[in-house]
C-alpha cells in the first residue's frame, strides 16, 4: 500500500510536467498541401552567440526570406508538432493572441518539429484545419540545435526587437501568460 501511495504522489508531482510538454516524436503521413496554405522547410541556419540564430526559408514567390527580416519587432517563436497534445491545447491561445497583436509590431512564428517524407503537406493541412494565421515553417535539427537543442515541445522563445532571446518557455502556456510577457517587452 505504501508503494501505491508513493507512486501516486510521484505521479502528482510529475504529471503536470508530462502533460505540459512532449518529447520529440517524428511520425508523419503522406498527402498534398492544401490550396492557400504554405508551409516551407527551414533552408539554412546561421547560429549566433548573442542573438537568435538567423534562419531562412523560401516564400510562395520562390524568394528567400530570413528571420532577420523580423528585426524591430517583438517575436514569439513556438516550436510545436501536429501530434503533440500540449501543443494543441496551447494553440487556440496563440491563434487568438496573434490576431490581437496583428499590426502592433509583434510577430508570431511557428516551427513544426514533425518529420517525414511529406512533412510540409502534413503541417500545412494541420495549419489549415486549425486556422493558424501566422507563418509556420518546418524546423530542422540544425535549427533546433542552434536554439540550444529544444528539449521538449511546445517550447517558445520570446525575442526582442534587436533579435535577442529574452525568455524561453518549455511547456504549454496560457494566452494571459504570453500576453503579459509580450506587453512587458513593448513598454
Q: What is the CA radius of gyration of the chain?
A: 17
Give me the catalytic one of 22, 45, 84, 124: 84
Q: String of b and e for 126-161 (b: at least 16 CB within 10 Å)?
A: bbeeeebebbbbbbbeebbebbeebebbbbbbbbbe
| DSSP secondary structure letters along 123-149 | HHHHHHHTT--SEEEE--HHHHHHTT-
Catalytic site residue from 42, 87, 124, 172: 87
Is 84 a known active-site residue? yes
Query: Would you call 22 a catalytic residue per the annotation?
Result: no
Contact 162, 138 (CB under 8 A): no
**Residues with catalytic annotation?**
84, 87
Amino acid at each position: 500500500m505504501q508503494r501505491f501511495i508513493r507512486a501516486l504522489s510521484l505521479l502528482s508531482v510529475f504529471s503536470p510536467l508530462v502533460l505540459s510538454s512532449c518529447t520529440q516524436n517524428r511520425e508523419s503521413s503522406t498527402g498534398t498541401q492544401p490550396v492557400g496554405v504554405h508551409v516551407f522547410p527551414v533552408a539554412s541556419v546561421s547560429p549566433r552567440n548573442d542573438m537568435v540564430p538567423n534562419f531562412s526559408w523560401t516564400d510562395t514567390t520562390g524568394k528567400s526570406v530570413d528571420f532577420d527580416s523580423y528585426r524591430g519587432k517583438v517575436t514569439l517563436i513556438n516550436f510545436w508538432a501536429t501530434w503533440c497534445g500540449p501543443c494543441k491545447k496551447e494553440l487556440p491561445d496563440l491563434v487568438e493572441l496573434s490576431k490581437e497583436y496583428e499590426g502592433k509590431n509583434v510577430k508570431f512564428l511557428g516551427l513544426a518539429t514533425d518529420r517525414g517524407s511529406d512533412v510540409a503537406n502534413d503541417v500545412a493541412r494541420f495549419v489549415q484545419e486549425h486556422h493558424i494565421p501566422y507563418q509556420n515553417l518546418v524546423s530542422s535539427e540544425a535549427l533546433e540545435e542552434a536554439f540550444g537543442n529544444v528539449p521538449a515541445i511546445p517550447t517558445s522563445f520570446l525575442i526582442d526587437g534587436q533579435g535577442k532571446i529574452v525568455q524561453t518557455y518549455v511547456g504549454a502556456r496560457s494566452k494571459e501568460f504570453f500576453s503579459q510577457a509580450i506587453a512587458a517587452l513593448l513598454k
